[in-house]
Chain A
């Protein structure tokens, strides 16, 4: 019996009512992940217990780390009378026992449909004295039937601005930028912070999951590992000279909100994955440090270029299928195009108007050779059907763990990238942003090709040196 051969090659009529093997998940997990990027913050899921359990399990599987979050534990009663008493009890219990600095509440389909008003409940909690001095309760709305996990992340990131950022000083702090890194790995955030520091700039990074979901082993269970953006930093973000938001879907809204609220100018850039996107990031930073790019960064760029030229013959003409989140897919596609590979098939479950246009810009005159879909029916089933129906298939798959069925069924090399990765390690530790991150990505892609070539080569052409 073959594994999971439940995808017919012939394309079915356009599906309207059905998602099969989704290339997305729901908003609340994004809000939970973002909230973990606040220092000493306990995310709180205002809904049924299962939501919270699923999100924590998925984050734990992806990071191999404890993922802490509370839940309002809705009952039949709460679904009739509203979840106010649950949330009040939760706020009291959480501050009593877990003592976070911030409780970051996100809603669920259940509490949204009931119509719970979180700010009003938080106010009631404050009136009852349930919120200790100096502690904060923030919230964002993340109904599961709107957007996708990426928009949940965006909403919580924006909530950090809405609740904390303040323009206090008369002048913006020259030489200090805000960095909104988007939904990337803790290692990516650390890498981005390193680049900003090398450029000689101060930086407030939010949300910052580095040091939270890649916490070192200390022999103790730490409810709140050392990392994360502090409330003071989030407040001070209102006085920074500029905001650089990476990825319009995940970071754009927060940057715009900060501009509107505190008059901090903003630039939204694509995620700095690949040579060109990293160039844009570095050049933008250069505008704030007096026009200087340190030799170390130039050398890192040079090493990336060196790798590309050394190995370029292995890349050219290769095709890939990609799935995941829009911000990632645009930059990954650009990276592939820059080494003469073609992102032939691209799907994302995240809805949103600009994605297809952005992909078109990246693909340029090759756009007609590619298929790009988004939304409810743009799922792994669709992707699998495309590949099955294509005699040439593709040379490479890039995406989260759920691609392993296609990889096995179609026997295609597979590089894991995105969320969630449930069956490999590395994503927690090795960045894929910046020049060094691009080296890592190209190394993974190359090794996948070379392993495949070694596996399939007849003995006569099995080569030692490649």
Chain B
């Protein structure tokens, strides 16, 4: 029987954003603005736009605002590029007090002209930050002027931090990309062109786009543009030549796919590349779309070979992990689905699942996917997360940078499935990497040193050691009674 969640303090306004499966009929409030004062793990509109556009490697990314917004997003995402590295520089107009008073337009334009002159990028994105929205700089006009002066497309990104949530930042990024789509001078390939797709919503963290691209190419599909992982401006310009948009990641690229459906009548399909099931489903779905028997056969062979290659190692990890419990807290909810399934493949049960930006449909699906008793959380905070981890006895937390130290402080294993992941986690090989990371953290002996580890693992982990018997035992003289203080960890005495 699922435990009620009432003994965990939750802000009155947030109570509807927490649900325990089986405790009541499913209902979870979401897509709400964060409660002021909650230590939310969410970020802002600018953050949403910045992470989405960031991997376009041959574009210039200028952040129009005070220096912080540029400083905190300097090379922040391990989005790999096979060529230019311009996206890893940090460019800021560094607005100062006098700019706030007199306006920052001239500064922005001068910066653009200088940077475009120096780097000759294929295009430039200019991000509006909070302050730009407030002081009323006409960013569109600045971009137009800079574009005219340099001959390079300069695209404003309306990502004022306060103007919505991270999701709105995704939309702003989609509109910016949309400004480039369809601007290629190349003629559209005629009938009889090979099947072609765009990969949307994969950001090439640790080279994941490359893995996915390789699968599609082996299926006989032409990948026109990868948006935005290892992205290139010219590819985006001709992205409207593709016959299908394959969209990963629930929030970030849906908007672009919709825009391209409206404008160019390109259909789109939602996929995920995490876990064996979802990865295979993605490839099959794309093959089904093109409805070519040869391609279907190639796809089936690819899936068979890849799964066959990784299963022996996965089985090894599953044996070690079976029965463990996981908490999953992601940015978008779509990733959470895949994680729940992947964890199930490894014999791990998801006891907490949540996201920063999930939609009602997302959570409905997530609830259906989870086991009885699982706690669902929308826009949670460290306090709730820590308490639910304690209550559910989770052995593992999957999340991002702000969640990592929370897990470790609790003595719980952690896997980064966010910007800071160092291993490719997508595709079949990615599933093995994921399993390895989860295994290495969950089964690490370090948790035996922590109080939680002591609590759960001590009884059977170390069988009582029988002392060697000696012929005659000389008793030591009784010690004088001292007021002793034990060696403690937390409130617990350390057993040596």
Contacts and interface: CB of A to CB of B under 8 A. Distances in A.
Interface of A: 1, 3-6, 8, 12, 15-22, 24-26, 28-29, 42, 44, 47-58, 60-61, 63-66, 68-76, 78-79, 86-87, 89-94, 96-98, 108-110, 113-114, 143-146, 148, 215-223, 349, 376, 381, 402
A108 B119 CA distance: 32
B161 A220 contact: no
Nearest to A44: B37
Contact of B94 (A22, A143, A215): A22
B66 A26 contact: yes
B441 interface: no
A42 B38 CA distance: 11
Nearest to B99: A145
B67 A50 contact: no
Contact of B43 (A49, A92, A216): A49
B64 to A, nearest CB: 11
Interface in B61-108: 65-74, 82-86, 88-97, 99-100, 106-108
A272 to B, nearest CB: 28
A219 B401 contact: no
B264 interface: no
B266 interface: no
A89 B100 CA distance: 28
Nearest to A69: B39
Contacts of A47: 130, 161-162
B369 interface: no
17 contacts: A18-B110, A25-B68, A53-B47, A57-B72, A60-B405, A64-B408, A90-B36, A146-B96, A217-B409, A217-B489, A218-B409, A218-B489, A218-B490, A218-B491, A219-B410, A221-B410, A223-B382
Interface residues of B, number: 86
Contacts of A44: 37
B409 A70 contact: no
Contacts of B46: 48, 50
B310 interface: no
Interface string B419-434: 0000000000000000
B123 interface: no
Contact of B37 (A50, A68, A93): A93
Contacts of A18: 91-94, 110-111, 114-115
A232 B79 CA distance: 48
B401 A91 contact: no
B130 A54 contact: no
The 8 closest A-B pairs by CB, nearest first: A50-B44, A26-B68, A90-B37, A219-B451, A221-B386, A93-B37, A144-B66, A48-B161
A21 B90 contact: yes
Interface stretch (B131-139, B183-191, B198-206, B316-324): B131-139
B492 interface: yes
Contacts of A217: 408-409, 411, 450, 489
A19 B67 contact: yes
B67 A22 contact: yes
B414 to A, nearest CB: 11
A108 to B, nearest CB: 7
A22 B118 CA distance: 18
B68 A56 contact: no
Nearest to A66: B405
A5 B118 CA distance: 13
A76 B94 contact: no
Contact of B131 (A56, A110, A402): A110
A78 B34 CA distance: 13
Contacts of A6: 85-86, 89, 119
Contact of A53 (B44, B129, B491): B44
A24 B33 contact: no
B42 interface: yes
B35 interface: yes
B259 interface: no
Nearest to A74: B162
B458 interface: no
A389 to B, nearest CB: 16
Given A50-B43, A50-B45, A113 B100 contact: yes
Given A18-B91, A56-B402, A402 B74 contact: yes
A42 B108 CA distance: 36
Contacts of A218: 409, 451, 489-491
Contact of A57 (B34, B92, B401): B401
Given A89-B37, A146-B97, 20 more contacts: A12-B118, A21-B74, A49-B43, A52-B40, A53-B42, A53-B47, A56-B402, A61-B401, A66-B406, A97-B9, A97-B37, A110-B162, A144-B131, A145-B66, A145-B95, A215-B409, A220-B451, A221-B382, A221-B383, A221-B410
B163 A76 contact: yes
Given A4-B85, A49-B34, A53-B43, A219 B452 contact: yes
B404 interface: yes
Nearest to A55: B72
Contact of A15 (B13, B82, B114): B114
Contacts of A109: 65-66, 95, 100, 129-131
A5 B39 CA distance: 39
A44 B38 CA distance: 10
Interface string B388-401: 00000000000001
A245 B41 CA distance: 35
Interface in B19-64: 33-47
Nearest to A109: B131
Contacts of A26: 66-69, 71
A51 B161 contact: yes
B419 to A, nearest CB: 9
B183 to A, nearest CB: 25
Contact of A70 (B37, B44, B45, B70): B37
A74 B165 CA distance: 10
A358 to B, nearest CB: 23
A12 B114 CA distance: 10
A50 B129 CA distance: 10
Contacts of B41: 53
Q: Which has the most chain A C-beta neighbours within 10 Å: B89, B383, B406?
A: B89
A89 B35 CA distance: 8
Contact of B492 (A20, A92, A219): A219
A93 B71 contact: no
Contacts of B89: 4, 6, 20-21, 381
B457 interface: no
Contacts of B491: 218
B16 interface: no
A108 B42 contact: no
Nearest to A18: B111
Contacts of B410: 219-221
A55 B71 CA distance: 11
B164 interface: yes
A52 B404 CA distance: 17
Given A18-B94, A22-B90, A25-B68, A1 B114 contact: no
Nearest to A99: B9
A220 B107 CA distance: 49
B111 A93 contact: no
Contact of A113 (B70, B134, B406): B134
A18 B165 CA distance: 28
B11 interface: yes
Q: Which has the most chain A C-beta neighbours within 10 Å: B86, B91, B130?
A: B130
A74 B406 CA distance: 26
A291 B460 CA distance: 60
B11 to A, nearest CB: 5
Contacts of A65: 405, 409
